[in-house]
Amino acid sequence: MPAKKHAGLKWLGRGLFVILILLSLALIFNEQIKSWLVSSYAPSVTTKTVKSNSKKKADFNFSKVKSLDFQTVAKARMNKNSISVIGSISIPSVNLYLPIGKGVSNETLALAAGTMKADQKMGQGNYALAGHHMIKHNALFSPLYYKSKVGQMIYLSDAKNIYAYKTTTRKFIAATDVQVVDDVPGKKLVTLITCDKTGAGRLMIRGTYQQKWAFKKAPASVQKSFTSHFNNKY
């Protein structure tokens, strides 16, 4: 065999070996990479971006939502500009800090909490959010599953104001109990929905409205829970 051809085959073999090693590492660290892609997503949340994104159309068809696999997360990061961020949620007692995206598209739910109804307004009606939960206990809505309790405070922000709610309900429900996101006459609520351990059912966290502050008038600790976790310009 000519020396040139032999050298070429040798380099081809090495290249294939390196590719196999990289593929093996990707498979081994699949969950860690996926968690990093989710946790490192840090969009800007400003009065300007919230106002602009609030006017955009969104998909609210929850039946189209896929399970959170690596491909879905990777695609979401590549298409992160398609996520219309309209606020953020902070639950300091469980270490949950997430951007809120408009709608429940797969890209939105791969990286943020998603609004479950069109035209929701913080501090009014039943503000319903959906989110995935992952093996990593501090990613997406995972802290709700592992750490949430009645009595904990839930804060929402639209970059202009902060809205405070107190957790009153934590219970598992059937996936078909979609009425929990409906408005309740005379009540101001926040309802957070994530999957249960099996993926077949749902965990519902519900809070009742307590008060609203202009962002810079909120307690310093509450302000910090937003400013230290998001790229904010309030």
Residue range 121-146, pLDDT digits in tens: 999 999 999 998 876 667 899 999 88
Structural contact between residues 112 and 68, judged by C-beta atoms closer than 8 angstroms: no
User: What's the pLDDT score for residue 24?
Assistant: 47
Active site residues: 132, 195
Give the span between the Cα atoms of 91 and 63, in whole angstroms: 27
Domain residue extents for the chain? 29-223
Domain 29-223 fold is Sortase; Chain: A; (2.40.260)
- Under DSSP, the state recorded for 59 is -
> What's the pTM value of the predicted model, to 2 decimals?
0.84
pLDDT tens column, 143-154:
998 899 999 999
User: What's the pLDDT score for residue 36?
Assistant: 78
pLDDT tens column, 145-203:
889 999 999 999 999 999 999 999 999 999 999 999 999 999 999 999 998 877 788 99
Q: CA of 42: how far to CAs of 31, 132, 168, 230, 234, in Å?
A: 19, 17, 29, 6, 15
Give the span between the Cα atoms of 94 and 145, in whole angstroms: 10
Q: Are strands 153-157 and 126-130 parallel, antiparallel or unpaired?
A: unpaired
